[in-house]
Structure 1
Amino acid sequence: MNRRDVVVGLGALVGTGAAASGTGAFSAAEVSREAKINVVDDSDGLVGLVANDAVAGVRMNTGGELTISLGDDDPGVNVGSVYQFGAFVSDNGVTDITGDTFSVVAADDPSDMSGGQESLESAFAVVNQSANDLALTVDFELRDDSDEGTKYAFELQSSQGGGGTREGLATSPITGQLTAQLATGESIGVSFIVNALDGATADEIAGSLSLSATTV
């Protein structure tokens, strides 16, 4: 999650002083007020990003930012393999990129956060911790250097009313966006699959997933 835009506004209105004192004239004045804005870990933000600690390569880094890192300093996916990171709601639309022998792991409600971190089955979750309903957009800014040998799929999942729903599916090559509505206290999840059955050891998929949230 390399891009997040946060706009913070501070405003003050003083309206009764002149009426109380009559003319409101003065020669000099100094007024001080305190303001406190905390920069917090992704998991504690108004738009919270929560990594599933049980999923390899998805974690909070030392700066408190959620990262997905497979390869380089971390173990990568094997050549001639299929890996799934987090449960999907359904295998519809992804079986054509997973091969004939791979079974997609599905769950009824993978992005459920009601029971705490232990209940999360998505690779990571986005939680609306603000007081407003949000319209969420996920942009994929991925550079694929695999010459189409390595394929992948990302599923956006909602958790509402005790059940999981697929909000969107993006498969390689990804050129579009995924969107969802997120009420206060609700969470959505993201899980993904990497298919390197026809891949090569030099293949690389790099870039970022950018989340944009606006109030509804």
Structure 2
Amino acid sequence: MNRRDVVVGLGGLVSTGALASGTGAFSAAEVSRQASISVVNDNNGLVGLIANQEIAGVQMDGGSELTISLGDGNNPGVNVNSVYQFGAFVTDDEVSDITGDTFSVVTDGDPSDLSTGQDSLESAFAIVNQSPQDLSVTVDFDLNDDIDGGTAYAFELQSSQGGNGTREGVTTSPVTGELPAELATGESIGVSFIINALEGTTGDAISGSLSISAESV
């Protein structure tokens, strides 16, 4: 509902109230209404963020905020001369060339499916529309490379609709820009990623943020 619709709707309600009372005059009035707005954990938000707790480094920080943390002192990092995948991809198209000849990308027909609970989640984490309206969702990658070696990485955005998984977009290092998706009420999209340190050196680091924005459609 846009702002113009809200203003028109309230005007109609005020006019109806005045006609029902027969006059607009009164000496005093007090009207109380209840309001409840709660700040909740990421997994309970209108735009819910659900960590796959089976994936290393993807967690709810302090039980409330989703974070990806690998090699920060509290969590182990990826090995030199290695390839790691975090969450299943829908397809290995456009990413198989960064994983090396001996590594096969793990794929799943519907990795971000949450229809039967978190046990079915194969993405690293999921973004769920828990609001009553359809949303246009954009994942904005703002990552900083501090890489001396050849460490490479890829992120895939995946939708889940009616039991079928679809790649909404993929971005590979150096990551810049956005990946958009449409998300109906109750639908989810997932994010999975691969880190290739076959040519990496100790001390290579990837930091920054994945910003998620949403607006009604």
| Alpha-carbon separation, structure 1, partners of 2:183 and 2:17 | 42
| Alpha-carbon separation, structure 1, partners of 2:31 and 2:186 | 38
Aligned length: 207
CA shift at 1:210, angstroms?
Answer: 0.5
Aligned to 2:43: 43
CA shift at 1:104, angstroms?
Answer: 0.7
Q: For 1:67-91, what per-residue CA distance to the aligned partner results, in whole angstroms no more than 9, with x for missing partners?
A: 1010112111111111000000111
Q: 1:36 is matched by which residue type in structure 2?
A: S
| Alpha-carbon separation, structure 2, partners of 1:21 and 1:81 | 76
| Alpha-carbon separation, structure 1, partners of 2:20 and 2:14 | 12
CA shift at 1:29, angstroms?
Answer: 4.4
Unaligned runs of 5+ in 1: 1-8
Which aligned segments of 4 or more residues in structure 1 are displaced greater than 3 angstroms? 11-32
After TM superposition, the score normalised by the length of structure 2 is 0.88
Change (3 A) 1:132 1:22: closer
> Structure 1 stretch 149-158 or stretch 17-26: which is displaced more?
17-26
Work out which structure has the larger RCO, using CA pairs closer than 8 Å and 6 or more positions apart in sequence.
1
Q: 1:68 is matched by which residue type in structure 2?
A: I
Unaligned runs of 5+ in 2: 1-5
> Structure 1 stretch 118-127 or stretch 22-31: which is displaced more?
22-31
Aligned to 2:53: 53
Aligned to 1:3: none
CA shift at 1:33, angstroms?
Answer: 2.6
Aligned to 1:198: 199
> What SS is found at the alignment partner of 1:144?
strand
Aligned to 2:101: 100
| Correspondence 1:180 to 2:181 | yes
> Structure 1 stretch 21-30 or stretch 168-177: which is displaced more?
21-30
Q: 1:160 is matched by which residue type in structure 2?
A: Q
Q: 1:54 is matched by which residue type in structure 2?
A: E
Aligned to 2:77: 76
> What SS is found at the alignment partner of 2:76?
coil
> What SS is found at the alignment partner of 1:168?
strand
Q: For 1:85-136, what per-residue CA distance to the aligned partner results, in whole angstroms no more than 9, with x for missing partners?
A: 0000111111111111111111111111111110000000111111111111
CA shift at 1:22, angstroms?
Answer: 5.4
If each structure's helix is expressed as a fraction of its own residues, which one has the higher value?
A: 2
CA shift at 1:61, angstroms?
Answer: 1.5
Aligned to 1:33: 33
> Structure 1 stretch 16-25 or stretch 56-65: which is displaced more?
16-25
CA-based RMSD of the aligned residues comes to: 2.0
| Alpha-carbon separation, structure 1, partners of 2:201 and 2:149 | 10
> What SS is found at the alignment partner of 1:43?
helix
Matches within 5 A, 1:58-207: 58-72=58-72, 73-147=74-148, 149-207=150-208
| Alpha-carbon separation, structure 1, partners of 2:146 and 2:56 | 22
CA shift at 1:142, angstroms?
Answer: 0.5
| Alpha-carbon separation, structure 1, partners of 2:163 and 2:19 | 56
Q: For 1:23-64, what per-residue CA distance to the aligned partner results, in whole angstroms no more than 9, with x for missing partners?
A: 544555444332110111111111111110100000112151
> What SS is found at the alignment partner of 2:119?
helix
Aligned to 1:4: none
| Alpha-carbon separation, structure 2, partners of 1:31 and 1:20 | 17
Is the contact made by 1:169 and 1:178 (CA closer than 8 Å) also made in structure 2?
yes
| Alpha-carbon separation, structure 1, partners of 2:27 and 2:117 | 58
| Alpha-carbon separation, structure 1, partners of 2:22 and 2:180 | 56
